[in-house]
Structure 1
C-alpha cells in the first residue's frame, strides 16, 4: 500500500501524462490545416523514434530487449498501434477535440470487457452494468442516425478497438521484455508505415508554424510516454488510474481556446456518463483486489 505522498505524486504524474497526450493531439489537429496526415505522421515519427531510442538506451532497453517468445505479440501490438494511429488521428482532424477524447476514454471499459471475453478475467455484474452504462454515454456522443451524426465518430470507435487490442496484447508480454523496447518498436512501425504511404501523396511545404507544431507534438508525445512509465512506478494504480479522466478537462479547454469548439449538452452528458462508469469500474477493481488480499492473508 503506497503512502499518501506517493499516491499524490502518482496522481500528479497521471495528470501530466494526460495533459501531454492531449497537447500532442491539439498540435496534430492544428497542423492538419497545412499538412496531410501521412506527412505529419512521418515527420513526427522520425523525431519521435530518435527521442525514444535515446530514452530506451538510457533505460537499458537494448540490453534486456524482447523475450524470444514475445515477438509475435510485439508484432501484433505494432499492427494495433498503426491502426489506432490512423483511425484516431483521422477522427481527431474531423471531430471536435473533446468529442474524440471523450470516446477514447471508454478504454478502461473496453479493456475490462475484452479481458473477460478473451483472457478469462472475472467480471462481476456491477462492472458489467457500468460498461453498458458507459456505452450509453458513447451513443450520446456518437448519436447514430441523428442530424448531427459525424461518420468520423465511428473512426474514433475503431481506434478504441485497436487500442484495446494493443493493451490486451501488452498484458500478455513476459516480464523479461523491456517496456521501452516495445515502445520503440511500435514507434518505428508507425513511422515506417506512414513513410511508405507518404510517398503516394504530394507533400506540403514546411513553414515555421508547421515545424514548431510537429516538434511540439513530438515532445508532447514523448512527455506523455515518460510520465505514463513513471506513473506505473509510484502510488497505487487503483488510486492513480482515475486521474486519466483529466484528459477530458484538457480537451475541453484546448478545444475552446485553440479551435473555438464547445461540445453540445448531449456530448458533455455522454462524457460525464463515460467518466462515471470508468470511475466506478476502477472502484470495483480496487475493492476486489483488497478482498483478494484479505482472503490470501
Structure 2
C-alpha cells in the first residue's frame, strides 16, 4: 500500500484501495454464506466501471508503466485487506481483540523487517523528530489502534455494514491529496469515484442475503433481505 505511493498519487491510490468492499462482498458470498442479489451483481459491475474510469486518463497519457505498477500494488493490498477482513469476521467474538491484533502486528513485522533490512539501507535513515513522530504515529495510531478498533467493530457488526464506513476514506484521501500534494482531478476521475462508491454502496446496502440455519431442523434457509 505505502510502496504504491511511489507510482500513483495518494488520492487516487486511496480511492482504488477502498473499493475492497466489492471484493469482500464477492468473497463473503463463499466464506460467510452471503449470497449476492441482482443488485449486488449490478453494484460490482458499477464499481468495476468506476475503476476503469479512474484509471483511463493515466493509461491514455503515456505513463502506463509506472501507473500499472502502482495499480498492481494497490490491487494486491486490496486483496490482502479483503482476505484479512473475512478471516477477522470469522474469528471475531471468539478471541480477544487486543491479543489477536497484537499477534497480527508481531507476526507481520518479522518478514517485513527481514525484507526491509535486506533491500534497504538502514544507515541512510535521517533520524529526526519529524521522522520519529511520523513513525510513531503510523505505527501506533495509523496501524495498531486502527486494526484493534476495526476488529472490535467486526465483533458486533456485519462485515458489509461495517465496510460501509470505508466510503468516507476516499473522500478524506482526496481532500488530503488536494490540500497537501497539489492534486487536481478531472471529470473522468470524479465520475469514476462516484461510480465506484455507488457500486460499493449498492452491494453493501442491498446486495446480499445471509444464509441461516433453522435451529430445530438444522436445515439452512436463505431469507430475502434488501432484495
Shorter-normalised TM-score: what interval? 0.7 to 0.9
Shift of 1:105: 1.8
In structure 2, how many angstroms separate the alpha carbons of the residues matched to 1:276 and 1:223? 29
Aligned to 2:205: 283
Aligned to 2:85: 167
The answer to whether the 8 A contact 1:238-1:285 is kept is no
In structure 1, how many angstroms separate the alpha carbons of the residues matched to 2:186 and 2:156? 37
After superposition, the C-alpha distances for 1:193-216 in whole angstroms (9 at most, x for unaligned) are 121123222122212221121122
Aligned to 1:60: none
The structure carrying a bigger helix percent of its residues is 1
Matched, 1:124 2:42: no
Shift of 1:231: 4.1
Q: 1:94 to 1:124 in 2, by over 3 A?
A: same
**1:100 paired residue among 13, 21, 25:** 13
Matched, 1:202 2:124: no
Aligned to 1:134: 47
How many residue pairs get matched? 205
**Ranges in structure 2 where 5+ consecutive residues have no aligned partner:** 211-221
The answer to whether the 8 A contact 2:10-2:177 is kept is yes
Aligned to 2:137: 216
**Normalization by structure 2: what TM-score?**
0.76
Shift of 1:100: 0.9
The 5-angstrom pairing of residues 56-95 of structure 1 reads 88-95=1-8
Shift of 1:173: 2.9
After superposition, the C-alpha distances for 1:212-249 in whole angstroms (9 at most, x for unaligned) are 21122123223423443454577887766433211112
In structure 2, how many angstroms separate the alpha carbons of the residues matched to 1:240 and 1:118? 17
Aligned to 2:25: 112
Matched, 1:244 2:166: yes
In structure 1, how many angstroms separate the alpha carbons of the residues matched to 2:152 and 2:188? 35
Residue aligned with 1:177, SS:
coil
Residue aligned with 1:261, SS:
coil
In structure 1, how many angstroms separate the alpha carbons of the residues matched to 2:51 and 2:86? 21
**Ranges in structure 1 where 5+ consecutive residues have no aligned partner:** 1-87
**Normalization by structure 1: what TM-score?**
0.60
After superposition, the C-alpha distances for 1:226-280 in whole angstroms (9 at most, x for unaligned) are 4434545778877664332111121112112222223333222211111111111
In structure 2, how many angstroms separate the alpha carbons of the residues matched to 1:173 and 1:164? 15
In structure 1, how many angstroms separate the alpha carbons of the residues matched to 2:157 and 2:94? 23
In structure 1, how many angstroms separate the alpha carbons of the residues matched to 2:81 and 2:39? 24
The 5-angstrom pairing of residues 234-273 of structure 1 reads 241-273=163-195
Aligned to 2:60: 146
**1:176 paired residue among 91, 94, 103:** 94
The answer to whether the 8 A contact 1:131-1:277 is kept is yes
The structure carrying a bigger strand percent of its residues is 2
Q: 1:120 to 1:245 in 2, by over 3 A?
A: closer
Which stretch shows the higher mean deviation, 110-119 or 189-198? 110-119
Residue aligned with 2:121, SS:
coil
